Structure 1
């Protein structure tokens, strides 16, 4: 399952993640960066204070978590750094000041993953393994970063496989490792894309995408309040909506379609399944899986 960044507005919004973990225990949860953080990081990268900006973000979430946790703000701050694989503030500052832009903007997802793990770990035995640890590999295709599906599926992690179905695994979308071993992003709004690859890798028959709306609509629900989401559609129709700027990444639809993974688009706040994307509608199997750029 995957939780979009528009759902993760602040620490208070994690209460729904608590409910999700209770209803669907021991799942793999892909999280995006908190709302607005990725755009802010793109802007902050070219400033003279790039590491200070990220440190301030981490301290802000540490302070909020400390209000809900017995641990101190400093303890939580250092715990977040540790989960992000920094040995301390000095190591963090050096690496962030010297990093490329892909690594820098990936910090939004890393912070979100660490914060969500700390929020859930005591109640749901949650562990954090980012998208590098789960085996997301990126390759360059026609000057566009794409996930190398075959290699990502083949790359094994014994620790990860040991925990599947036994712990709640919090991981990240958006980025992976390129062929040079460096962090590379899979494109904007690509957490759905990463989640679809992990669904295939782990042999899931269903991928739940939690969104800030209850499903896929034929028109903007903000314009017509009485409109209901489309209850069911096939991959072809979902692809058309995604290419128009719909709420599912087109590559996620393609990968799920090619591997017969059913997609449930669900409202994060309502926890209602609004739209189901599956390989058939009205009993008719659909075999059309269009390529996307």
Structure 2
């Protein structure tokens, strides 16, 4: 192929409805190098699925949420030119949503939750494949679980890179010679074939992992904003998109609050020197931000980020602060409970550190057991809602 091999990822707002999907389809069809498309669930779907997976509801309430999901998908289906070829498959997926949502153990089993949460991407890829076919290109709806092997940590699975690379070369790369492959973000499968998820926002990560596995040169992340901004444009009108960032800068920004990219996205890009482009699917003509190994220009500072909903933990003990191994004990407990520390500050008798608090994450794991274990060696104060 004369054009650089490209993977394009489209987020939830980019595939929210038929018109939005058409915009994305035109972007894909307009770039002969794009051979794999990764899609998120249509906007609103994942929130409904999270409610079904985590909230106790009456049978009637569950039915109402399932209907809300179906309504979003049917609005897209009804505008398809070849909807008859898709309708039966969509019905099967919606039936699977209902079966899982009404399962008596859905609130208690992480494996069932991941099966349910994966349904948004599975429906979205089915729909987008049909919309893309309307651009007179050959498409294929591919189940990413055949390729994206993970461990069995449901809800936050870790990809197994060697297996993914092997699977991608054997099962995915041959398909892109004859069709544009449309597949799911966020979703994987463990060694036993059970559905897993990479955590909220994991579709970016999926695109980067697949780009690495098939040897793509470019990974495009299409969102609802024109690139990565100098700061949150909702805070100040002075914010503007950056033409370029280095891998390191993008990784730091993603980790410390920039919501345009998933923090893990940069890891595969750095390993294989894959160029990452971030742009708006609504206004592709406005360009976006290129994230590359080395930037041509390096200003004194690139951008400002903001982190919300932080948890601050303060550990204090006047007797042991300077005792050998005290901090090692504290952070060993944190590591044991799989918590990731972001910022640390120290004083003569205390140490404070912050933890990110995304939905369904730290709030569930920073539990009484963790605090009780810390309290065996020091006094502990936990404060929520820091910005």
Q: Which TM-score applies when normalising by structure 2?
A: 0.64
Q: Name stretches of at least 5 consecutive residues in structure 1 with no aligned partner.
A: 285-292
Instruction: Name the CA distance, whole Å, in 2 between partners of 1:9 and 1:93.
Output: 21
Inter-CA distance 229–139: structure 2 relative to 1 (3 Å threshold)? same
- Greater Cα shift, 45-54 or 165-174: 45-54
Q: CA deviation at 1:223?
A: 3.4
In the other structure, the counterpart of 2:241 is 229
Partners in 2 of 1:159 and 1:255 — Cα distance? 20
State whether residues 100 and 116 of structure 2, in contact with CA within 8 Å, keep that contact through their aligned partners in structure 1.
no
Is 1:80–2:101 an aligned residue pair?
Answer: no
State the Cα distance separating 1:96 from its structure 2 match. 5.8
Tell me the distance in 2 between the aligned counterparts of 1:262 and 1:80. 35
For residues 1-293 of structure 1, the aligned pairs below 5 Å read: 1-25=8-32, 27-45=35-53, 46-47=56-57, 48=59, 50=62, 53-54=65-66, 57-58=69-70, 60-69=72-81, 71-72=83-84, 76-81=86-91, 89=95, 93-94=98-99, 97-98=102-103, 100-122=112-134, 123-133=136-146, 135-139=147-151, 144-156=156-168, 158=170, 160-225=172-237, 227-246=239-258, 247-271=260-284, 272-282=286-296
Which is worse superposed, 111-120 or 50-59? 50-59
CA distance, structure 2, for counterparts of residue 79 and residue 175 of structure 1? 19
Judging changes above 3 Å, is the alpha-carbon distance between structure 1 residues 6 and 56 closer, same or farther for their aligned structure 2 residues? Answer: closer
- Count of residues in correspondence between the two structures: 276
Asked if structure 2 preserves the Cα contact closer than 8 Å seen for 1:215 and 1:229, the reply is yes
> In structure 2, how many angstroms separate the alpha carbons of the residues matched to 1:136 and 1:5?
20
- Which segments of structure 1 move beyond 6 Å, counting only runs of 4 or more? none
Given the superposition, is the C-alpha separation of residues 36 and 270 from structure 1 closer, same or farther in structure 2, using an over 3 Å criterion?
Answer: same
Q: d(CA) in 1 for partners of 2:37 and 2:24?
A: 9
Q: What secondary structure does 1:24 align onto?
A: coil
Alignment partners' CA distance in 1, 2:265 and 2:287: 18
How large is the Cα RMSD of the aligned pairs?
2.7
Partner of 1:289: none
Distance 1:39 1:111 in 2: 15
- In structure 2, the CA distance between the partners of 1:126 and 1:32, relative to structure 1 (3 Å rule), is same
Deviation at 1:199, TM superposition (A): 0.2
Contact 1:66 1:76 in 2 (8 A): no
SS of 1:281's partner is: coil
Secondary structure of 2:257's aligned partner? coil
Bigger Rg, structure 1 or 2: 2
Change (3 A) 1:80 1:206: same
> What secondary structure sits across from 1:139 in the alignment?
coil
TM-score, length-normalised on structure 1?
0.83
| Distance (whole Å) between structure 2 residues aligned to residue 67 and residue 233 of structure 1 | 39
Deviation at 1:267, TM superposition (A): 1.4
Would the aligned equivalents of 1:27 and 1:169 in 2 still touch at CA under 8 Å?
yes
Please say if residues 81 and 92 of structure 1, whose CA atoms lie closer than 8 Å, have aligned partners that are also in contact.
no
Quick check: 159-168 or 60-69, which moved more?
A: 60-69
Q: Which SS does the other structure have where 2:145 is aligned? A: coil
Greater RCO, CA 8 A, separation 6+: 1
CA distance in 1, matches of 2:160, 2:206: 11
249-258 vs 49-58, which moves further: 49-58
Measured in 2, the distance between the counterparts of 1:130 and 1:55 equals 25
